[in-house]
Structure 1
Amino acid sequence: MESSSVVKALAALAQASRLEIFRALVVAGEAGLTPGAVAEALGLAPNTLSFHLKELVHAELVSQERAGRNLIYRARFERMNAVLAYLTDNCCQGQPCAASPTSTACPC
């Protein structure tokens, strides 16, 4: 992953509403959420939500799919994992490591 893509993704998440939207989509998993469900859950106005969803789609952190009359938004887990991998790529002085899910520190 190129640094410019990581910067775009992090910039999209560097706004409180977009971060909350993304987290809600992560929780929803593969089922995704309609804009109405996101707006209701987070208390966002439809026009504000639309703007933030567009930014997340542009950063390739969220996908959009039409299902009949509805749009379904889903977190792109592979993209999120690629950003996280980029950020932790050189931990442990460049040596491979497996950080423990219960620890915030690298085990090296």
Structure 2
Amino acid sequence: MNETQALDALGALAQETRLRIVRLLVTAGPDGMAAGTIGEAMGATSSRLSFHLTHLEAAGLVRSRRKGRSIRYSAVYDALSGLIAFLMRDCCQGHPKVCTPAVAALSIPACLPSEPVE
């Protein structure tokens, strides 16, 4: 991720509804959620929801796909990981303990593989 992409992503996330949508889609997993379900969870009208989803999609943080008669949205995990990596790239500057809290926060049990990775 380069600086321009990071600025686009951070700008998209710097709004309460969009941040909540991304967090919801992250927890939904790779299959994502139907637009209507997201709207219900956010308490947003379809036009407002569409505005926010379009903004997030333009920033590369979510993607949409048609499934039957509905549109499903899912988080783009590579883009979110890239943003975190961009922010943390120069973190330690020779002082590893500076990054320890951030690394520990990323070691959430739900995010760890349940089976050994080979």
TM-score with structure 1 setting the length: 0.88
**Partner AA of 1:89 in structure 2:** R
- SS of the counterpart of 1:93? coil
**Partner AA of 1:92 in structure 2:** C
Q: Which residue of 2 aligns with 1:46?
A: 46
Q: Which residue of 1 aligns with 2:104?
A: 100
Structure-2 change in CA distance of 1:3 and 1:23 (3 Å): same
Query: How many residue pairs are counted as aligned between the two chains?
Result: 103
Quote how far apart the aligned CAs of 1:31 are. 1.8
- Over the aligned positions, Cα root-mean-square deviation in angstroms equals 1.9
Q: Which residue of 1 aligns with 2:69?
A: 69
Q: Which residue of 1 aligns with 2:15?
A: 15
Q: Which residue of 1 aligns with 2:113?
A: none
Structure-2 change in CA distance of 1:102 and 1:76 (3 Å): closer
Which blocks of at least 5 consecutive residues in structure 2 are unaligned?
108-118
Q: Which residue of 2 aligns with 1:57?
A: 57
**Partner AA of 2:35 in structure 1:** P
TM-superposition CA deviations, 1:6-58 (whole Å, max 9, x none): 00000000000101111111110112011100011111111000000000000
Structure-2 change in CA distance of 1:102 and 1:19 (3 Å): closer
Identity over aligned pairs, percent: 42
CA separation in 2, counterparts of 1:69 and 1:32? Answer: 15
TM-superposition CA deviations, 1:49-104 (whole Å, max 9, x none): 0000000000000011111111110000110000000000001106777722379x
Which blocks of at least 5 consecutive residues in structure 1 are unaligned?
104-108
